[in-house]
Copies of this chain bind each other. A is one copy, B any other.
Amino acid sequence: MSILSDAVNSYLQNASWIRRMFEAGGRLKARFGEENVCDFSLGNPDLPAPPAVAEALREFAERAGEPFAFGYMPNGGFGWAREKLASRLSREHGAPLTAEDVILSCGAAGGLNAFLRAVLNPGEEVLGIAPYFVEYGFYTENHGGRFRAVMSRKDTFRPDIRALENALGPTTRVVLVNSPNNPTGAVYDNEDFRALAKLLEDKSAEYGRPVWLASDEPYRFLRYDGAAPVSVLPLYPYAVCISSFSKNLSLPGERIGYVAVSPALKEKEELMAALNLTNRILGFVNPPVVGQHLMAASLESQVDIAVYATRRRAMAEVLSRAGYEFQMPAGAFYFFPKAPGGDDVAFVNALQEERILAVPGSGFGCPGYFRLAFCVDESVIRRSSAGFAKARERMERLSA
Protein backbone atom coordinates (compact mmCIF):
# COMPACT_ATOMS: atom_id res chain seq x y z
CA MET A 1 0.00 0.00 0.00
CA SER A 2 1.35 3.40 -0.93
CA ILE A 3 2.12 5.91 1.79
CA LEU A 4 0.49 8.49 -0.48
CA SER A 5 -3.11 9.23 -1.38
CA ASP A 6 -4.39 7.14 -4.29
CA ALA A 7 -4.78 10.21 -6.50
CA VAL A 8 -1.28 11.55 -5.95
CA ASN A 9 0.18 8.08 -6.25
CA SER A 10 -1.46 7.64 -9.64
CA TYR A 11 -0.36 11.13 -10.76
CA LEU A 12 3.22 10.16 -9.98
CA GLN A 13 2.91 6.82 -11.84
CA ASN A 14 1.34 8.43 -14.90
CA ALA A 15 3.90 11.20 -15.04
CA SER A 16 6.65 8.68 -15.60
CA TRP A 17 7.03 9.19 -19.38
CA ILE A 18 7.18 12.95 -18.93
CA ARG A 19 9.76 12.46 -16.23
CA ARG A 20 11.80 10.10 -18.40
CA MET A 21 11.80 12.68 -21.17
CA PHE A 22 12.80 15.42 -18.77
CA GLU A 23 15.59 13.29 -17.36
CA ALA A 24 16.81 12.46 -20.86
CA GLY A 25 17.04 16.21 -21.52
CA GLY A 26 19.06 16.62 -18.33
CA ARG A 27 21.44 13.85 -19.44
CA LEU A 28 21.90 15.54 -22.82
CA LYS A 29 22.89 18.79 -21.13
CA ALA A 30 25.24 16.98 -18.77
CA ARG A 31 26.88 15.10 -21.65
CA PHE A 32 27.16 17.78 -24.33
CA GLY A 33 27.11 20.94 -22.23
CA GLU A 34 24.05 23.15 -21.73
CA GLU A 35 25.18 25.48 -24.54
CA ASN A 36 25.07 22.58 -27.02
CA VAL A 37 21.46 21.65 -26.33
CA CYS A 38 18.59 23.70 -27.81
CA ASP A 39 16.02 23.70 -25.01
CA PHE A 40 12.55 24.75 -26.21
CA SER A 41 10.77 22.77 -23.52
CA LEU A 42 10.26 25.37 -20.79
CA GLY A 43 8.02 28.43 -20.60
CA ASN A 44 10.44 30.17 -18.22
CA PRO A 45 10.85 33.76 -19.55
CA ASP A 46 14.53 34.60 -20.06
CA LEU A 47 14.09 38.37 -20.48
CA PRO A 48 15.09 40.33 -17.39
CA ALA A 49 12.38 42.02 -15.33
CA PRO A 50 11.96 45.70 -16.31
CA PRO A 51 14.01 48.26 -14.29
CA ALA A 52 10.92 49.40 -12.33
CA VAL A 53 11.00 46.06 -10.50
CA ALA A 54 14.54 46.44 -9.11
CA GLU A 55 13.75 50.07 -8.29
CA ALA A 56 10.67 49.03 -6.30
CA LEU A 57 12.71 46.41 -4.48
CA ARG A 58 15.33 48.98 -3.47
CA GLU A 59 12.62 51.34 -2.27
CA PHE A 60 10.86 48.70 -0.25
CA ALA A 61 14.18 47.62 1.30
CA GLU A 62 14.37 51.06 2.91
CA ARG A 63 11.14 50.36 4.79
CA ALA A 64 11.74 46.66 5.45
CA GLY A 65 12.84 47.31 9.04
CA GLU A 66 9.51 48.90 10.01
CA PRO A 67 6.95 46.99 12.07
CA PHE A 68 4.38 45.16 9.93
CA ALA A 69 6.43 45.75 6.75
CA PHE A 70 5.89 42.03 6.02
CA GLY A 71 2.74 41.68 8.14
CA TYR A 72 -0.53 40.04 7.31
CA MET A 73 -2.97 42.08 5.24
CA PRO A 74 -6.46 41.24 3.87
CA ASN A 75 -6.46 37.81 2.20
CA GLY A 76 -6.96 39.39 -1.21
CA GLY A 77 -3.95 41.70 -0.83
CA PHE A 78 -3.30 45.28 0.29
CA GLY A 79 -6.16 47.68 -0.48
CA TRP A 80 -3.78 50.18 -2.10
CA ALA A 81 -2.31 47.45 -4.34
CA ARG A 82 -5.75 46.26 -5.44
CA GLU A 83 -6.79 49.83 -6.12
CA LYS A 84 -3.82 50.46 -8.39
CA LEU A 85 -4.39 47.19 -10.21
CA ALA A 86 -8.12 47.89 -10.61
CA SER A 87 -7.43 51.27 -12.13
CA ARG A 88 -4.99 49.73 -14.61
CA LEU A 89 -7.42 46.93 -15.49
CA SER A 90 -10.30 49.36 -15.92
CA ARG A 91 -8.45 51.03 -18.76
CA GLU A 92 -7.25 47.74 -20.22
CA HIS A 93 -10.61 45.98 -20.14
CA GLY A 94 -12.96 48.88 -20.73
CA ALA A 95 -14.82 47.95 -17.54
CA PRO A 96 -15.13 50.12 -14.43
CA LEU A 97 -13.27 48.02 -11.82
CA THR A 98 -12.60 49.04 -8.23
CA ALA A 99 -10.42 47.53 -5.51
CA GLU A 100 -13.49 45.50 -4.49
CA ASP A 101 -13.59 43.76 -7.89
CA VAL A 102 -10.14 42.18 -7.76
CA ILE A 103 -8.19 39.92 -5.46
CA LEU A 104 -4.46 39.43 -5.67
CA SER A 105 -3.33 35.80 -5.72
CA CYS A 106 -0.20 33.67 -5.71
CA GLY A 107 0.12 33.79 -9.48
CA ALA A 108 -2.59 32.84 -11.97
CA ALA A 109 -2.32 29.23 -10.70
CA GLY A 110 -3.23 30.41 -7.21
CA GLY A 111 -6.06 32.53 -8.59
CA LEU A 112 -7.47 29.63 -10.62
CA ASN A 113 -7.43 27.34 -7.61
CA ALA A 114 -9.06 29.95 -5.38
CA PHE A 115 -11.78 30.42 -8.01
CA LEU A 116 -12.39 26.70 -8.59
CA ARG A 117 -12.50 26.02 -4.83
CA ALA A 118 -15.12 28.78 -4.57
CA VAL A 119 -17.53 27.57 -7.24
CA LEU A 120 -16.99 23.86 -7.90
CA ASN A 121 -18.94 21.09 -6.16
CA PRO A 122 -17.37 17.63 -6.15
CA GLY A 123 -18.31 15.77 -9.34
CA GLU A 124 -18.98 18.91 -11.34
CA GLU A 125 -17.22 19.60 -14.57
CA VAL A 126 -14.74 22.13 -15.89
CA LEU A 127 -14.80 22.27 -19.67
CA GLY A 128 -11.66 23.37 -21.48
CA ILE A 129 -10.51 23.68 -25.07
CA ALA A 130 -7.80 21.34 -26.34
CA PRO A 131 -4.90 21.62 -26.63
CA TYR A 132 -4.73 22.95 -23.09
CA PHE A 133 -2.32 23.64 -20.24
CA VAL A 134 -2.02 20.25 -18.52
CA GLU A 135 -2.28 21.76 -15.01
CA TYR A 136 -5.98 22.54 -15.60
CA GLY A 137 -6.75 18.87 -14.99
CA PHE A 138 -4.97 18.88 -11.64
CA TYR A 139 -6.51 22.19 -10.58
CA THR A 140 -9.96 20.77 -11.26
CA GLU A 141 -9.31 17.49 -9.46
CA ASN A 142 -7.88 19.36 -6.45
CA HIS A 143 -11.48 20.38 -5.75
CA GLY A 144 -13.14 17.09 -6.62
CA GLY A 145 -14.17 18.21 -10.12
CA ARG A 146 -13.75 16.51 -13.47
CA PHE A 147 -11.86 18.21 -16.30
CA ARG A 148 -12.85 17.61 -19.91
CA ALA A 149 -11.71 19.34 -23.07
CA VAL A 150 -13.22 19.68 -26.51
CA MET A 151 -10.89 20.06 -29.47
CA SER A 152 -10.40 23.50 -30.96
CA ARG A 153 -10.73 24.09 -34.70
CA LYS A 154 -7.57 22.44 -35.96
CA ASP A 155 -7.10 25.01 -38.74
CA THR A 156 -6.83 27.91 -36.28
CA PHE A 157 -6.79 26.42 -32.76
CA ARG A 158 -9.62 28.85 -31.96
CA PRO A 159 -12.78 27.65 -30.18
CA ASP A 160 -15.20 25.33 -31.93
CA ILE A 161 -18.44 26.79 -30.56
CA ARG A 162 -20.60 23.97 -31.94
CA ALA A 163 -18.41 21.36 -30.23
CA LEU A 164 -18.58 23.32 -26.98
CA GLU A 165 -22.36 23.54 -27.26
CA ASN A 166 -22.60 19.77 -27.67
CA ALA A 167 -20.24 19.13 -24.78
CA LEU A 168 -21.87 21.48 -22.28
CA GLY A 169 -24.19 19.75 -19.83
CA PRO A 170 -26.03 20.42 -16.60
CA THR A 171 -22.98 19.49 -14.51
CA THR A 172 -20.69 21.90 -16.36
CA ARG A 173 -19.90 24.58 -13.83
CA VAL A 174 -17.03 26.39 -15.53
CA VAL A 175 -15.79 26.90 -19.08
CA LEU A 176 -12.07 27.64 -18.90
CA VAL A 177 -10.35 29.36 -21.81
CA ASN A 178 -6.81 30.60 -22.38
CA SER A 179 -6.02 33.24 -25.01
CA PRO A 180 -3.33 33.96 -26.12
CA ASN A 181 -3.01 30.24 -25.84
CA ASN A 182 -0.45 27.94 -24.31
CA PRO A 183 0.56 25.74 -26.20
CA THR A 184 -0.71 26.94 -29.62
CA GLY A 185 -0.14 30.72 -29.58
CA ALA A 186 -3.70 31.15 -30.93
CA VAL A 187 -5.49 34.39 -30.03
CA TYR A 188 -9.28 34.24 -29.79
CA ASP A 189 -10.99 37.18 -31.44
CA ASN A 190 -13.98 39.28 -30.49
CA GLU A 191 -16.33 37.05 -32.45
CA ASP A 192 -15.07 33.95 -30.62
CA PHE A 193 -15.68 35.52 -27.24
CA ARG A 194 -19.08 36.93 -28.19
CA ALA A 195 -20.23 33.54 -29.43
CA LEU A 196 -18.92 31.95 -26.24
CA ALA A 197 -20.70 34.49 -24.03
CA LYS A 198 -23.94 33.99 -25.96
CA LEU A 199 -23.66 30.21 -25.64
CA LEU A 200 -23.07 30.41 -21.88
CA GLU A 201 -25.94 32.84 -21.41
CA ASP A 202 -28.26 30.45 -23.21
CA LYS A 203 -27.04 27.41 -21.33
CA SER A 204 -27.21 29.21 -17.99
CA ALA A 205 -30.83 30.10 -18.73
CA GLU A 206 -31.58 26.53 -19.82
CA TYR A 207 -30.04 24.96 -16.67
CA GLY A 208 -31.30 27.63 -14.28
CA ARG A 209 -27.85 28.27 -12.89
CA PRO A 210 -24.89 30.24 -14.16
CA VAL A 211 -22.10 28.57 -16.08
CA TRP A 212 -18.93 30.52 -15.27
CA LEU A 213 -16.51 31.70 -17.94
CA ALA A 214 -12.95 31.71 -16.57
CA SER A 215 -10.46 33.42 -18.84
CA ASP A 216 -6.82 32.63 -18.08
CA GLU A 217 -4.80 35.48 -19.62
CA PRO A 218 -1.15 35.60 -18.55
CA TYR A 219 -0.06 36.15 -22.19
CA ARG A 220 -2.54 38.96 -22.87
CA PHE A 221 0.26 41.53 -23.38
CA LEU A 222 2.09 39.40 -25.94
CA ARG A 223 0.36 39.58 -29.34
CA TYR A 224 1.75 39.99 -32.83
CA ASP A 225 0.73 41.45 -36.19
CA GLY A 226 -1.90 43.69 -34.62
CA ALA A 227 -4.00 40.92 -33.03
CA ALA A 228 -6.46 42.78 -30.79
CA PRO A 229 -7.03 41.90 -27.14
CA VAL A 230 -10.58 41.01 -26.14
CA SER A 231 -12.01 41.54 -22.66
CA VAL A 232 -14.49 39.04 -21.30
CA LEU A 233 -15.51 41.17 -18.32
CA PRO A 234 -17.85 43.49 -20.25
CA LEU A 235 -19.24 40.59 -22.30
CA TYR A 236 -20.72 38.30 -19.68
CA PRO A 237 -21.66 38.86 -16.02
CA TYR A 238 -20.40 35.44 -14.91
CA ALA A 239 -16.95 36.01 -16.39
CA VAL A 240 -13.74 36.17 -14.37
CA CYS A 241 -10.37 37.16 -15.74
CA ILE A 242 -7.42 35.40 -14.14
CA SER A 243 -3.89 36.49 -14.88
CA SER A 244 -0.41 37.06 -13.51
CA PHE A 245 2.73 39.15 -13.86
CA SER A 246 4.83 36.07 -14.58
CA LYS A 247 5.26 36.81 -18.27
CA ASN A 248 4.85 40.57 -18.81
CA LEU A 249 7.25 41.37 -15.94
CA SER A 250 9.26 38.10 -16.07
CA LEU A 251 8.33 37.34 -12.44
CA PRO A 252 7.09 33.73 -12.63
CA GLY A 253 8.88 32.59 -9.47
CA GLU A 254 7.58 35.46 -7.38
CA ARG A 255 3.97 34.24 -7.55
CA ILE A 256 1.88 37.32 -8.06
CA GLY A 257 -1.36 37.29 -10.03
CA TYR A 258 -5.01 38.19 -9.71
CA VAL A 259 -8.66 37.39 -10.27
CA ALA A 260 -10.90 40.19 -11.59
CA VAL A 261 -14.68 39.76 -11.70
CA SER A 262 -17.20 41.28 -14.06
CA PRO A 263 -18.64 44.52 -12.67
CA ALA A 264 -21.99 43.35 -14.08
CA LEU A 265 -22.09 40.37 -11.72
CA LYS A 266 -25.12 40.70 -9.43
CA GLU A 267 -23.64 38.41 -6.77
CA LYS A 268 -20.29 40.18 -6.81
CA GLU A 269 -20.07 40.63 -3.07
CA GLU A 270 -20.75 36.93 -2.52
CA LEU A 271 -18.06 35.84 -5.00
CA MET A 272 -15.47 38.24 -3.59
CA ALA A 273 -16.17 37.05 -0.03
CA ALA A 274 -15.72 33.49 -1.28
CA LEU A 275 -12.46 34.28 -3.09
CA ASN A 276 -11.04 35.96 0.00
CA LEU A 277 -12.00 32.88 1.99
CA THR A 278 -10.64 30.31 -0.46
CA ASN A 279 -7.40 32.26 -0.98
CA ARG A 280 -7.00 31.96 2.79
CA ILE A 281 -8.06 28.38 3.43
CA LEU A 282 -6.18 26.84 0.51
CA GLY A 283 -3.05 27.93 2.37
CA PHE A 284 -2.08 30.86 0.18
CA VAL A 285 -3.35 33.09 3.02
CA ASN A 286 -2.44 36.17 0.97
CA PRO A 287 -0.30 37.07 -2.06
CA PRO A 288 3.37 37.60 -1.07
CA VAL A 289 4.05 41.11 0.32
CA VAL A 290 7.12 41.89 -1.79
CA GLY A 291 5.41 40.69 -4.99
CA GLN A 292 2.59 43.15 -4.33
CA HIS A 293 5.04 46.05 -4.02
CA LEU A 294 6.84 45.00 -7.22
CA MET A 295 3.56 44.62 -9.11
CA ALA A 296 2.09 47.94 -7.99
CA ALA A 297 5.25 49.85 -8.94
CA SER A 298 5.55 48.20 -12.35
CA LEU A 299 2.00 48.37 -13.71
CA GLU A 300 3.07 50.66 -16.54
CA SER A 301 6.16 48.58 -17.39
CA GLN A 302 6.69 45.38 -19.29
CA VAL A 303 9.48 43.33 -20.81
CA ASP A 304 10.66 44.23 -24.32
CA ILE A 305 8.16 42.41 -26.52
CA ALA A 306 10.08 43.34 -29.69
CA VAL A 307 12.57 40.66 -28.63
CA TYR A 308 9.85 38.03 -28.62
CA ALA A 309 8.59 39.26 -32.01
CA THR A 310 12.07 38.85 -33.51
CA ARG A 311 12.43 35.35 -32.10
CA ARG A 312 9.02 34.39 -33.42
CA ARG A 313 10.07 35.35 -36.94
CA ALA A 314 13.34 33.45 -36.52
CA MET A 315 11.56 30.33 -35.28
CA ALA A 316 9.07 30.51 -38.15
CA GLU A 317 11.95 30.73 -40.63
CA VAL A 318 13.73 27.75 -39.11
CA LEU A 319 10.56 25.63 -39.12
CA SER A 320 9.56 26.64 -42.66
CA ARG A 321 12.98 25.88 -44.09
CA ALA A 322 13.07 22.56 -42.30
CA GLY A 323 9.72 21.68 -43.88
CA TYR A 324 7.39 21.75 -40.87
CA GLU A 325 3.64 22.37 -40.98
CA PHE A 326 2.57 24.99 -38.46
CA GLN A 327 0.31 27.95 -37.84
CA MET A 328 1.95 31.26 -37.17
CA PRO A 329 1.23 32.05 -33.49
CA ALA A 330 -0.66 35.33 -33.05
CA GLY A 331 0.36 35.58 -29.39
CA ALA A 332 2.35 34.10 -26.47
CA PHE A 333 5.79 32.52 -27.00
CA TYR A 334 4.94 29.09 -28.37
CA PHE A 335 4.76 27.25 -31.69
CA PHE A 336 2.65 24.11 -31.94
CA PRO A 337 3.68 22.41 -35.22
CA LYS A 338 2.55 19.04 -36.54
CA ALA A 339 4.85 16.19 -35.52
CA PRO A 340 6.39 14.71 -38.69
CA GLY A 341 5.40 11.08 -38.91
CA GLY A 342 2.40 11.66 -36.66
CA ASP A 343 3.69 10.14 -33.41
CA ASP A 344 4.52 13.14 -31.24
CA VAL A 345 6.31 11.22 -28.48
CA ALA A 346 8.49 9.33 -30.97
CA PHE A 347 9.20 12.58 -32.80
CA VAL A 348 10.20 14.43 -29.65
CA ASN A 349 12.58 11.56 -28.89
CA ALA A 350 14.03 11.95 -32.38
CA LEU A 351 14.51 15.67 -31.71
CA GLN A 352 16.44 14.79 -28.57
CA GLU A 353 18.91 12.89 -30.73
CA GLU A 354 19.53 16.24 -32.43
CA ARG A 355 19.96 17.79 -28.96
CA ILE A 356 16.69 19.68 -29.27
CA LEU A 357 14.18 19.59 -26.39
CA ALA A 358 10.44 20.01 -27.00
CA VAL A 359 7.19 18.81 -25.39
CA PRO A 360 4.86 16.32 -27.13
CA GLY A 361 1.31 17.49 -27.85
CA SER A 362 0.05 14.52 -25.83
CA GLY A 363 1.09 16.52 -22.78
CA PHE A 364 -1.58 19.07 -23.80
CA GLY A 365 -4.35 16.66 -24.75
CA CYS A 366 -3.47 16.96 -28.44
CA PRO A 367 -1.33 14.11 -29.83
CA GLY A 368 0.30 14.51 -33.25
CA TYR A 369 1.77 17.95 -32.46
CA PHE A 370 4.62 19.29 -30.37
CA ARG A 371 5.26 22.51 -28.46
CA LEU A 372 8.26 24.79 -28.81
CA ALA A 373 8.73 27.62 -26.30
CA PHE A 374 10.73 30.41 -27.89
CA CYS A 375 11.65 32.32 -24.71
CA VAL A 376 15.29 31.55 -25.51
CA ASP A 377 18.04 33.51 -27.19
CA GLU A 378 17.71 33.97 -30.96
CA SER A 379 21.07 32.21 -31.43
CA VAL A 380 19.60 29.03 -29.94
CA ILE A 381 16.74 29.19 -32.45
CA ARG A 382 19.15 29.70 -35.38
CA ARG A 383 21.42 26.91 -34.17
CA SER A 384 18.54 24.40 -34.09
CA SER A 385 17.93 24.67 -37.84
CA ALA A 386 19.90 21.64 -39.06
CA GLY A 387 18.63 19.45 -36.22
CA PHE A 388 15.01 20.23 -37.04
CA ALA A 389 15.59 19.29 -40.68
CA LYS A 390 17.30 16.01 -39.81
CA ALA A 391 14.69 14.95 -37.25
CA ARG A 392 11.88 15.56 -39.75
CA GLU A 393 13.61 13.62 -42.49
CA ARG A 394 14.30 10.67 -40.20
CA MET A 395 10.71 10.49 -38.93
CA GLU A 396 9.21 10.73 -42.38
CA ARG A 397 11.54 8.03 -43.67
CA LEU A 398 10.52 5.79 -40.76
CA SER A 399 6.79 6.31 -41.24
CA ALA A 400 6.96 6.05 -45.06
Contact of A106 among B47, B60, B255 (CB under 8 A): B255
Contact of A288 among B1, B48, B122, B288 (CB under 8 A): B288
Q: For this complex, into which size category does the number of interface residues on chain A fall? A: 35 or more
Q: Say whether A5 contacts B121, CB under 8 Å.
A: yes
Q: Say whether A8 contacts B278, CB under 8 Å.
A: yes
| Residues 98-136 (chain A) with a chain B CB within 8 angstroms | 106-107, 109-114, 117-122, 135
The smallest beta-carbon distance between A131 and chain B, in angstroms, is 19
Q: Say whether A64 contacts B49, CB under 8 Å.
A: yes
11 extra A-B contacts, CB within 8 A, seeds A1-B208, A72-B253? A5-B118, A6-B121, A11-B281, A44-B71, A49-B64, A58-B58, A61-B61, A71-B252, A110-B284, A113-B283, A135-B280
Q: List 12 A-B contacts (CB under 8 A).
A: A4-B274, A5-B118, A5-B121, A44-B72, A48-B67, A106-B284, A106-B288, A112-B283, A114-B283, A139-B281, A283-B284, A290-B290
A286: which B residues are within 8 A, CB to CB?
Answer: 253, 255
A46: which B residues are within 8 A, CB to CB?
Answer: 67-68, 71
Q: Tell me whether A42 is interfacial, beta carbon within 8 Å.
A: yes
Q: Mark A251-263, 1 if CB is under 8 A from B, else 0.
A: 1111100000000
Query: Which listed segment binds B: A30-38, A152-160, A222-230, A265-273?
Result: A265-273
Q: Say whether B270 contacts A2, CB under 8 Å.
A: yes
| Residues 65-81 (chain A) with a chain B CB within 8 angstroms | 65-73
Known contacts A110-B283, A282-B142, A284-B106: A64-B54 contact under CB 8 Å? yes
Contact of A3 among B138, B271, B282 (CB under 8 A): B271
CA distance A57 to B70 in the complex (A): 12
Q: Tell me whether A289 is interfacial, beta carbon within 8 Å.
A: yes
Q: Say whether B142 contacts A70, CB under 8 Å.
A: no
Q: Tell me whether A53 is interfacial, beta carbon within 8 Å.
A: yes
The smallest beta-carbon distance between A170 and chain B, in angstroms, is 12
Report the copy number of this chain in the oligomer.
2
Residues of A within 8 A of B (CB): 1-9, 11-12, 15, 42, 44-49, 51, 53-54, 57-58, 60-62, 64-73, 106-107, 109-114, 117-122, 135, 138-139, 142-144, 208-210, 238, 249-255, 267, 270-271, 273-274, 277-278, 280-291
A71: which B residues are within 8 A, CB to CB?
Answer: 44-46, 250, 252-253
The smallest beta-carbon distance between A27 and chain B, in angstroms, is 17
The smallest beta-carbon distance between A358 and chain B, in angstroms, is 18
A271: which B residues are within 8 A, CB to CB?
Answer: 3-4
A69: which B residues are within 8 A, CB to CB?
Answer: 48-49
Look across to chain B and name the residue whose beta carbon is closest to the beta carbon of A287.
B255
A8: which B residues are within 8 A, CB to CB?
Answer: 117-119, 274, 277-278
A254: which B residues are within 8 A, CB to CB?
Answer: 70, 288-290
Q: Say whether A109 contacts B3, CB under 8 Å.
A: no
Interface centre among A46, A48, A210, A283 (most CB of B within 10 A): A283
CA distance A47 to B71 in the complex (A): 10
The smallest beta-carbon distance between A366 and chain B, in angstroms, is 20
Q: Say whether B54 contacts A70, CB under 8 Å.
A: no
Q: Say whether B58 contacts A281, CB under 8 Å.
A: no
The smallest beta-carbon distance between A236 and chain B, in angstroms, is 14
